[in-house]
Chain A
Amino acid sequence: MDIARRTTSLLAILITLISFAQENKVEQNFEVEIGAEYRFFPDKGQFKNQKDHFPSLSIQPKYSVDWNKGKESITIVTFFRLDIDNPRTHWDIRELYYQKAKGKWEINIGLKKIYWGVTESNHLVDIINQTDAVESFDGEEKLGQPMVEFSLTTDNYGTFNFFYLPYHRERTFSGEKGRFRFPVVIDKDAIGYESDAEEWRQDIAFRWSHYFGAFDIGLSHFFGHGREPLFTFDNLGNVNAFYPVIHQTGIDLQVTHEAFLWKLESIYRNAEAQNFFALVAGLEYTFSNIDGNGLDIGLLGEYLYDQRDEFALNALQNDVFFGSRIAFNDTQDTSILIGGITDLESSSKIFSMEASRRFGSTWTAEIETRIFSNINQSEFILSNFKDDSFLRFSISKYF
């Protein structure tokens, strides 16, 4: 009762504070994105009960309000997807945070998304948010991470970001009907934690970033329950998965010279059960305005190394990625990204293509395909996905 009364009065104070802060105009914004998606897997799933056709719907409402000349704001982004596969039917608070900026510093409190890194084929240093693994195969969709972030931008010494991460979010895996799964369906709640504090272990992270002329550099460190579960096997072949407590130090570097972008990302991860080093290095070169009408063709090449070898969750242990980004720079923002990853030690290859275009002013359409080709049976993770080549169509409407 007392707590309830205190909470109410605290809320009242907060609302009063906000309304007093409204000496300037308050700006509110509300948008909704509704998406329809169809995924088709031409090959029959290699495990029982896996489906081939996945129609799906999603909705993402976003509300934001700012005041104090935009120096203070609250942002709320929620997400819901309805799908044939149970775990892929999920909802999430992508963002729900208060932000205040003053002079050189900024503070963020709540659920937020943070991106670190420079490379295209793999995102090694990016560790703050848990991957929304059922949402997309490329790992670029993230779950909102509870945090307090403090950032300081100095004149001559770069930007310092400090993160306090009080709660760990579990990775969701495909269910029985879903693709991209293992013979055994992994229940996210069955994955334990190394620390007794479990998801409430208080984690921290830090990043320093700066730029000097053509160089953009970031150094980061994370200490807490890792975002990737670690799979171990006992003598009887039983799988045991848990989130280990890790120290991860990362570097990201990009050199931007004329039409060249030279990129490097590297991490060293240290846990009781596992130490390893991983790296992505490559370049991007863009031939711009080739036809005088804005056609840009970018060429990408990256080398991927992961000391975990076949235990790397994304199976990119000693691979080369080639790709091309084609942007038409037309009024519909038509763009195509094609790429292929080939294993240097085995026959395994993954090809991908993503194309997108706007229709009218409030519709967009996307086509994506991934083809798993000659996947080597000895690939510990990837061999489970060998029949999961797919074609995806999606349309989105923005309100």
Chain B
Amino acid sequence: MKKIIVLIVVTFTMLANAQSPEVKGLEIAKAAEQADLGFNSSVVDLKMTLKNKNGQTSERSLTTKTLELTEDGDKSLIVFNSPKDVKGTSTLTFTHKVGSDDQWLFLPSIKRVKRISSNNKSGPFVGSEFAYEDLSSQEVEKYTYKFLEEKGDLLIVEQDPVDPKSGYARRVITYNKNKGYRIEKAEFYDRKNALLKTLTYSDYKLYKNKFWRASKFHMVNHQSNKETILNFSNYNFDSGLSDNDFTQAALQRAGK
């Protein structure tokens, strides 16, 4: 009799806890966002290595500044340092949780600031295997979620982009719940639902005892056999950036 009661209690508890995969997936994404809250601003140098299918490489270097905003999406400023003919070319992006992002481009040779369309999400960023949407601020609202499975500390969640202009049918993200929900791997499926790219994050470092940042992103395109490696260095979370560092005037200063 006692055993039966225990069984019933256990069953009820399980039922109560059994969330739908959608709810669980969303909760994991929110937990990941929560774990990264409060970094305020960051500055990082980035070396991008593009590898074609014959193994030939070319490099770009850039500096990215990010300002964390909670009510709306983050602001970011990207400046190219090389190749030298595009040195100073810069972009300013205001990410929005809902709706399209606002983006300006600065062309240093003629000193022109140009508002550009953020419509092109699926296009490659400067010839790399990263699409614009892969590098834009990851806001929870931009996807719907489905929890797939748990493997030890790893939580695997399917994410479907809300925006029909996305180049993906879905992404499958592997979170590490014991390491501040940092992402270990992302798989991208194209609109025909075929595996397009795999992004592996490695050489993680913990900053300010809270923020996990990978020093290396490795993107492999399975359909074109091209690769792009991003190496991050000189992470700075103490730069004290504010809204004043993310204006069109600041964009022109950055690219001068």
What are the interface flags for B84-126 relative to A under an 8 Å C-beta threshold, 1 for contact and 0 otherwise? Answer: 1111000000000000101000000011111111011011101
Tell me whether A361 and B59 are in contact (CB under 8 A): yes
Which of B15-23, B143-151, B153-161, B243-251 is the interface stretch? Answer: B243-251
Instruction: Name 28 A/B residue pairs within 8 A (Cβ), A-sorted.
Output: A31-B84, A73-B256, A75-B256, A99-B253, A101-B249, A104-B244, A113-B110, A118-B115, A153-B247, A159-B249, A258-B100, A258-B119, A261-B115, A289-B124, A289-B167, A294-B123, A329-B124, A331-B50, A331-B52, A331-B127, A333-B126, A358-B83, A361-B58, A361-B59, A361-B84, A364-B85, A398-B84, A399-B84
Given A75-B256, A261-B115; A361-B123 close (CB under 8 Å):
no
A187 at the interface (CB under 8 A from B): no
Determine if A260 and B117 form an interchain contact, defined as CB atoms under 8 angstroms apart.
Answer: yes
In the complex, are the beta carbons of A398 and B85 less than 8 A apart? Answer: yes
Q: Which residues from chain B contact A398 at a C-beta distance below 8 Å?
A: 83-85
Q: How many pairs, one residue from A and one from B, have CB atoms within 8 Å of each other in the complex?
A: 106
Q: Which residues of A contact B (CB under 8 A)?
A: 31, 33, 64, 70, 73, 75, 99, 101, 103-104, 106, 113-115, 117-118, 140, 142, 151, 153, 155, 159, 209, 211, 216, 254, 256, 258-261, 286, 288-289, 292-294, 296, 329-333, 358, 361-362, 364, 396, 398-399
A151 to B243, CA, bound (A): 16
Alpha-carbon separation in the docked complex, A332 to B122 (Å): 19
When distances are taken between beta carbons in the complex, the residues of chain A under 8 Å from B249 are 101, 106, 151, 153, 159
- Chain B contacts of A294 at CB under 8 A? 123-124, 127
* Residues in chain A near residue B58, CB distance under 8 A: 331, 361
In the complex with contacts A211-B102, A294-B127, A398-B84, A261-B120 CB distance below 8 A = no
Among residues of B, the one whose C-beta sits closest to the C-beta of A104 is B244
- Near A by CB (< 8 A), chain B positions 54-81 give 58-59
B40 on the A face (CB < 8 A): no
Residues from chain A with a CB closer than 8 A to the CB of B124 are 289, 293-294, 329
> Bound complex: CA of A104 vs CA of B250, how far in Å?
10
Q: In the complex, are the beta carbons of A114 and B84 less than 8 A apart?
A: no
Given A153-B244, A153-B247, A261-B117, verify A329-B127 contact (CB < 8 Å). yes
Contacts of A358 in B (CB 8 A): 83, 85
Interface presence of B200 (CB below 8 A): no
Question: A31-B87, A118-B114, A329-B124 given. 13 additional CB < 8 A pairs?
Answer: A31-B84, A33-B85, A103-B244, A106-B253, A159-B247, A159-B248, A254-B115, A286-B117, A289-B124, A332-B127, A361-B83, A362-B83, A398-B85
Q: Distance (Å) between the CB of B45 and the closest chain A CB?
A: 13
In the bound complex, residues from chain B placing their C-beta under 8 Å from that of A209 are 248
- Which residues of B (161-210) have their CB < 8 Å from a CB of A? 167
Contact with A along B16-50 (1 / 0, CB 8 A): 00000000000000000000000000000000001
The yes or no answer to B82 lying at the interface (CB within 8 A) is yes
Shortest Cβ distance from B122 into A: residue: A289
- Known contacts A286-B119, A289-B123, A296-B123, A101 near B253 by CB under 8 Å: yes
B169 CB → nearest A CB, Å: 14
Distance A75 CA – B108 CA, assembled complex (angstroms): 13
Whether the Cβ atoms of B120 and A289 lie closer than 8 Å is yes
A398 CB, min distance to chain B CBs, angstroms: 4
List, in ascending order, chain B residues with CB within 8 A of A104's CB.
244
Contacts of A333 in B (CB 8 A): 86, 126-127
CA distance A102 to B14 in the complex (A): 58
B115 in contact with A211 (CB, 8 Å) = yes
Q: How far is the CA of A329 from the CA of B125 in the complex (A)?
A: 8
Find chain A residues with CB under 8 A from B244 CB: 103-104, 153
Contact B253 A115 (CB under 8 A): no
A115 adjacent to B119 (CB under 8 Å): no
Q: Is the CB of B120 within 8 A of A288?
A: yes
Closest-by-CB residue of B relative to A399 is: B84
A286 and B84 form a contact (CB under 8 A)? no
A291 to B150, CA, bound (A): 37
